[in-house]
Amino acid sequence: MDTRLKYLGVFGLLSLVAVLLTAGFVGDLDAATSSGRGANQYGDSTKSKICGDKLCIESGGRIIMPSQNKTDQTICFSSRVQVPCEELKYIQIDEKTFNAMKQEIEDMKKKIDAKNQELREIKNSLEANVTEYSSILRLAKSNVPVTIPLHQGYYMGKSVYYIITDSSDKTHADIITKNQGWRVELAPLLANASQAALSKTYMFTNGVKGDGVHGFQGEVFTSTPAQPDSYSALTSHVHVTWDDAATPRILDSEKVILGEEKQGLVTLNKLNVVLNMPQIVWPEGQMPVKANATLTEDTPFVGGQVLDINLENMTTTFIAHRGWDADGRTIYYIVTDATPVGPAISMGVTNAPKNAALASGPAASDMFHFMNGILDAGPMGFQAGITSSAPGDENYSPMWKIYFIEWKDPKSALLLQTKNDVDVHEKAGLISVNLAKPMNADHIVNCPIVDPFQ
């Protein structure tokens, strides 16, 4: 609708200028010739329209007026500058021709009036459409880039590149933050995630130095997005520790690790820690990179969330979307994966069916998106969303159950910025709030809240 407004606005402006010039030109002449002024009054009231003893035009063109002879008419052709009419040539025409030309002008005026009416109707229609959605909001920095460190790990002997955004455990959050130079958020609710929502990852506590969480070789994954039924960005962990008598080497698959354990070369210990480790590149593919990497306040939510993947510098750049937390503070979040498959494909993120296991448990928080109301850069094209928690809160999780908000009367929509705003307006019957069920399925989205300016 914005494009239509811009196009019709320019079209209307150009038409209006033409109308004013034409209508004003004819109207001024009519006023000058029909006001009953005597010849001695010309020069004051009509000095911009008279030259010599004949009516002329300053900017060039033609003016039709009766001559002294009642049966003849005179057309005075002026140049681009004002000159006395006596210096111009005269063409004598009969009354019939004059009347025909006058009728032509009248017909032109009617067409202009009709065009004006058409433009007014278009304008009123567009205003009515805008009013239907209340008003337009454009938040500054609605979409900004955020560059996140990549880590290299393994799956079935091949490389996997991933990011780490959240940890259920403060110790690991602090360790990873220090090692990667980019903040990992503490997300206590992740500790409540059921095994059905997790994938298993092996983490090394000694051995070959590398880019792993503890400064040794990279983690070993048991699935990738190419195995959607078993993949999850949320990972449970097993610590791998080399025996003092063993000679450490790179272990690049679960099968190899279990073989080393069987020989007594490594010890495995399950860890009560859940990390959010979305995979960006895996042996069979990668997250799609958005075709247009130029961000604006109107950048759509669909078509991809990744702006760049740089394996040489070991970084990836996401779009960080602006929103509000429960208390009205500005937040930014990225989108890495979702379920069901429809919304995942639309947003350009990884399809992660195991996320659905979080829908009925205590490991996910609530996020509210608007389906109508104030136009803005939110996921549905309306105002930015509101979360029920944020980093620093005991109930923060990067995994979100999505709720849709609809205004009963979109024309009365107001800007809502806090969870309390949502509750108050729902209680007053002004909005409806419903759990999102796209494709009639549980809808969980992995949206880590990040600081794009760190």
Tens place of pLDDT per residue across the chain (454 aa) = 443 333 333 333 333 333 333 333 333 333 333 333 333 433 344 444 334 443 433 333 443 444 444 444 444 444 344 444 444 444 556 778 778 888 888 888 888 888 878 777 776 665 555 444 457 777 789 999 999 999 999 999 999 999 999 999 999 999 999 999 999 999 999 999 999 999 999 999 999 999 899 999 999 999 999 999 999 999 999 999 999 999 999 999 999 999 999 999 999 999 999 999 999 999 999 999 999 889 988 888 888 999 999 999 999 999 999 999 999 999 999 999 999 999 999 999 999 999 999 999 899 999 999 999 999 889 999 999 999 999 999 999 999 999 999 999 999 999 999 999 999 999 999 999 999 999 999 999 999 999 999 9
CA atoms within 13 A on the CB side of 372: 18
State residue 124's pLDDT score. Answer: 67
CB atoms within 10 A of CB 92: 12
Map tokens 């903040």 to a residue: 183
- The CA-CA-CA angle for residues 223, 224, 230, to 5°, reads 50
* 3-state SS assignment for residue 24: helix
Distance separating alpha carbons of residues 351 and 343, to the nearest angstrom: 9
> Which residues pair with residue 167 across a beta bridge?
186, 275
State residue 333's pLDDT score. Answer: 98
Map tokens 């019939």 to a residue: 96
> Which residues pair with residue 407 across a beta bridge?
431
Decide: pTM greater than 0.95.
no
Residue 258 has phi, psi (to 5 degrees) of -65, -30
CB atoms within 10 A of CB 57: 19
Q: What b-and-e string marks burial along 9-23, b requiring 16 or more CB atoms within 10 Å of the CB?
A: eeebeeeeeebeeee
* Domain extent listing, the chain: 2-132, 143-282, 295-450
Tokens of 51: 């030259």
Q: What single string gives the DSSP state of each residue in 261-314?
A: HHTTSEEEEEEEEEEE--EEEETTEEPPBPS-----TT--SSS-SEEEEETTTT
Distance separating alpha carbons of residues 57 and 63, to the nearest angstrom: 7
State residue 128's pLDDT score. Answer: 54
> Which residues pair with residue 308 across a beta bridge?
317
Tokens of 253: 């698959």
Distance separating alpha carbons of residues 433 and 187, to the nearest angstrom: 25
State residue 91's pLDDT score. Answer: 53
Report yes or no: 235 and 446 within 8 Å, Cβ to Cβ.
no
Map tokens 């990884």 to a residue: 350
State residue 129's pLDDT score. Answer: 53
